Amino acid sequence: GAAAPTGLNPVGGGGMLGLGLLGAGPLAGITPHQQQLLAAAQLAGGGVVDAGLAAQARLSKLNAAAPEVDSATLEKISEVAMQFFIERVPTDEQMREREAVCSKLHQAVVNEFPSARLQLFGSSGNNFCGKNSDLDLCLIVPEEVVYSDQGGGRGGNRRNMGRRETEKRRQQDRKKLMGKFVLRIADVMRRKGMEELTELPHARVPIVKFKTRDEQGHLVDCDVCINNYLACLNTELLFTYSHVDWRLRPMVYCVKHWIKQRQINDPYKGYLSSYTYTLMCIQFLQQCTPPVLPCLQEILRSEAVRRGDPMLRFRNTYDCYFYRDIERLKGFGNANTESIGVLLLKFFRFYAHFDKKKLVVCIRRGKPLTKKDKGWEKAMQRNRHVFCIEDPFDTDVDLGRNADENTVNDIQQEFERAFKMLSETGDLVKVMESYDTEREGAAPLPPKPADDADDHDHDHDHGPPTDEGETPPITPEGGEPPEQWATGSVEVDVPGVSLPADIQILDPSR
Ligand code: CTP
Ligand code: MG
Which ligand is the nearest neighbour of the Cα of 235? 1
Task: Give the C-alpha separation, 261 to 240, whole Å.
Answer: 27
Task: Give the C-alpha separation, 136 to 460, whole Å.
Answer: 12
Å from CA of 122 to ligand 1 middle: 5
Say whether domain 91-231+468-486 belongs to CATH 1.10.3720.10. Answer: no
Angular region, 207: left φ>0, alpha ψ -120 to 50, beta rest: beta
The answer to whether 310 and 304 are in contact (CB under 8 A) is: no
Task: Give the C-alpha separation, 41 to 22, whole Å.
Answer: 10
User: Could you please report the per-residue DSSP string of 14-46?
Assistant: SS-TTTGGG--STT----HHHHHHHHHHHHHTT
pLDDT tens figures, 146-197: 998 644 445 556 667 788 888 899 999 999 999 999 999 999 999 999 999 9
- Judged by average pLDDT, the poorest of 224-233, 245-254, 446-455 is 446-455
Output the ligand 1 site: residues, CB below 6 A: 121-123, 126, 129-130, 133-134, 136, 230-231, 234-235, 256, 273-275, 399, 461-464
Task: Give the C-alpha separation, 435 to 455, whole Å.
Answer: 25
Task: Give the C-alpha separation, 102 to 110, whole Å.
Answer: 12
Which residue, 75, 83, 481, is CA-closest to 315? 481
Among protein residues, the one with the nearest Cα to ligand 1's atom 28 is: 274
Residues of the chain with CATH 3.30.460.10: 91-231+468-486
- Residues 6 or more apart whose CB falls under 8 angstroms from that of 469 comprise 204, 382
Å from CA of 138 to ligand 2 middle: 12
The answer to whether 6 and 507 are in contact (CB under 8 A) is: no
Strands 388-389 and 359-361: parallel
Strands 388-389 and 135-140: unpaired
Residues of the chain with CATH 1.10.1410.10: 16-86+233-433
Task: Give the C-alpha separation, 396 to 38, whole Å.
Answer: 31
Among protein residues, the one with the nearest Cα to ligand 1's atom 2 is: 463
pLDDT of residue 426: 95
Which residue, 393, 373, 401, is CA-closest to 271? 401
Nearest ligand 1 atom to the CA of 256 is 28
pLDDT of residue 489: 34
Residues with CB under 5 A from ligand 2 (ion): 122-123, 134, 136
Which residue, 383, 26, 459, 392, is CA-closest to 225? 459
Q: Cα 222 to the chain's mean position, in Å?
A: 16
pLDDT of residue 56: 47
| More confident: 1 or 170 | 170
User: Could you please report the per-residue DSSP string of 48-76?
Assistant: HHHHHHHHHHHHGGGGGGSTTS-HHHHHH
Q: Cα 413 to the chain's mean position, in Å?
A: 24
Å from CA of 37 to ligand 2 middle: 21
pLDDT of residue 18: 34
Which ligand is the nearest neighbour of the Cα of 252? 1
CATH class held by domain 16-86+233-433: mainly alpha
pTM of this structure: 0.79
Instruction: Quote helix, strand, coil % in the chain, to nearest 5.
Output: 45, 10, 45
pLDDT tens figures, 329-347: 989 999 999 999 999 999 9
